[in-house]
Amino acid sequence: MDRIYLNQMSFYGYHGVFEEENKLGQRFIVDVKLGLDLAKAGLTDQLDETINYGDVYSIIKQIVEGKPYKLVEAVAEKVASELLRSFDNLTECTIKVIKPDPPIPGHYQSVAVEITRSRV
What residues are annotated to the active site? 99
Contact in structure between 6 and 52 (CB atoms under 8 Å): no
Q: In angstroms, rounded to a whole number, what is the distance separating the alpha carbons of residues 49 and 62?
A: 24
CA nearest to 10, candidates 31, 28, 26: 28
CB atoms near residue 42 (< 10 Å): 12
